[in-house]
Amino acid sequence: SVRAPSADAAVRWAADCRAAGVAVGCFRPPSVPDGISRLRLTARADLTEEQIGAAVATVLSTAPRQAVAPVS
């Protein structure tokens, strides 16, 4: 799972991913405690490396600013 900065951000992020063709789940309060909203990502064995790379790129490009830590 990938942490989202808020429940509203998680819902928007999941919708943006789905609009770009990447199916993700979203869990947020009340099913989880406040402050723990996340996207649920599930990979299947039949996905190619290219498909996985494209999904990762979509999740990163649609992410709210606060959700993705810079890579050093």
Task: Identify whether 38 is part of a domain.
Answer: yes
Q: What pLDDT shows up at residue 64? A: 92
Res. 12: pLDDT tops 90:
yes
Order across the sheet with 38-40: list the strands.
Answer: 2-3, 38-40, 25-27
Task: Identify whether 71 is part of a domain.
Answer: no
Q: What pLDDT shows up at residue 14? A: 97
Q: What pLDDT shows up at residue 70? A: 46
Which domain covers residue 22, as residue numbers?
A: 2-65
pTM of the model: 0.84
List, for residues 16-72, the tens digit of each pLDDT value. Answer: 999 999 999 999 999 999 989 999 999 999 999 999 999 999 999 999 977 655 444
Q: CATH number of the domain at 17, please.
A: 3.90.1150.10
Please count the structural domains in the chain: 1
Residues paired with 26 in a beta bridge = 39
Task: Identify whether 70 is part of a domain.
Answer: no
